[in-house]
Amino acid sequence: GAGVSQSPSNKVTEKGKDVELRCDPISGHTALYWYRQRLGQGLEFLIYFQGNSAPDKSGLPSDRFSAERTGESVSTLTIQRTQQEDSAVYLCASSGTTSFTDTQYFGPGTRLTVL
Amino acid sequence: AQKITQTQPGMFVQEKEAVTLDCTYDTSDQSYGLFWYKQPSSGEMIFLIYQGSYDEQNATEGRYSLNFQKARKSANLVISASQLGDSAMYFCAMREGLRSSASKIIFGSGTRLSIRP
């Protein structure tokens, strides 16, 4: 029963480079979420995958951000042409179903620093 | 649009005292879930407690209880007998129900709780 895992745990990149962040949800979890948390701030919703339905991308801040998920497995969040304002912790969470009663469990996050 | 409001950016409480963290929400759905999470300085998000909109009893989990007042749309977290290890950021969150396109979870801005010895 492993929890949600994310890799890398830390990523330092130069402005303008592309980065790819990975999330492994809890096995069998249908729903997967990505959040961004800037230093000292709350969680900002980015994108939500809900089983086989179309993802809710309403939180993606710009077209430089994209995410994919194949079935109920791994998800990758890609940030193209990174900017310094992209520096944050990127948190992934999964929940067993898409029911409103279902708790989401978080991974440890990826700390992204854009120089 | 759904919205979560936490009006207390920071709180200081004496060890062993009880503390209430405020949370109000706004939704037009009848079915929704309310969650509280704790985020210590290590950064991990720890699930604390859940309350469903149809639950008649207030949720309790050990020293945590949720004071759910549906008519007022409030879901305050109560921590009894606070401990030094309770010092952390606390986030209130909501997930709407039947409209699947709106079932993402939205978080409040958080309350930083500091426990004094």
- For residue A52, the model assigns a pLDDT of 79
> Could you tell me which residue, B14 or A97, shows the higher pLDDT?
B14
**Residue pair A9/A111 in contact by the 8 Å Cβ criterion:** yes
Which of B31, B47, B97 lies closest to A105 in CB terms?
A: B47
Per DSSP bridges, beta strands B32-39 and B88-96 are: antiparallel
B99 contacts B1 by C-beta, under 8 angstroms: no
pLDDT single digits (tens) B61-113:
999 999 999 999 999 999 999 999 999 999 999 987 654 444 678 899 999 99
The minimum CA-CA distance between A18 and chain B, rounded to whole Å, is 24
**A23 contacts A109 by C-beta, under 8 angstroms:** no
Closest CA to B111 of B65, B79, B80, B83: B79
State the average pLDDT for chain A: 91
3-class state of residue A84 by DSSP: helix
* Residues B101, A56: C-beta atoms closer than 8 Å: yes
pLDDT tier for residue B29 given thresholds of 50, 70 and 90: confident
Q: Select the residue of B31, B45, B97 nearest A91 (Cβ to Cβ).
A: B45
In terms of pLDDT, which residue wins out, B17 or B98? B17
A108 to chain B: closest CA residue:
B44
Nearest-Cα distance to chain B for A80, in Å, is 24
Is A52 in the B-facing interface, judged by CB distances under 8 Å?
A: no
pLDDT greater than 90 at residue B8? yes
Q: Which pLDDT value is given to residue A51? A: 78
Would you call B80 helix, strand, or coil by DSSP?
coil
Residue in B35, B43, B106 nearest the CB of A103: B35
User: In the block, which residue shows the tokens 């929400």?
Assistant: B25
Query: pLDDT by residue (tens digit) across A44-86?
Result: 999 989 877 888 898 999 999 999 998 778 999 999 999 999 9
Tell me what pLDDT residue A103 has.
81
So what's the pLDDT on residue A100? 66
Most confident of A10-14, A26-30, A38-42: A10-14
Per-residue model confidence (pLDDT) at position B85: 96
Cα distances (Å, whole numbers) of residue B57 to A100, B47, B69, B90 = 18, 19, 10, 22
Q: Among B104, B107, B112, which would you mutate to test the A interface (most chain A Cβ atoms within 10 Å of its Cβ)?
A: B104
Q: What is the Cα–Cα distance from B35 to B95, expressed in whole angstroms?
A: 8
Which positions in chain B touch A41 (Cβ < 8 Å)? 109-110
Q: How far apart are CA B61 and CA B51, in angstroms?
A: 11
- Cβ within 8 Å of residue B20, ≥6 positions away: B67, B76, B77, B78, B79
Q: Looking at residue B101, what is its pLDDT?
A: 45
Q: Would you call A100 and B106 a contact, using CB atoms and an 8 Å cutoff? A: no
Share of chain B above pLDDT 70, in %: 92
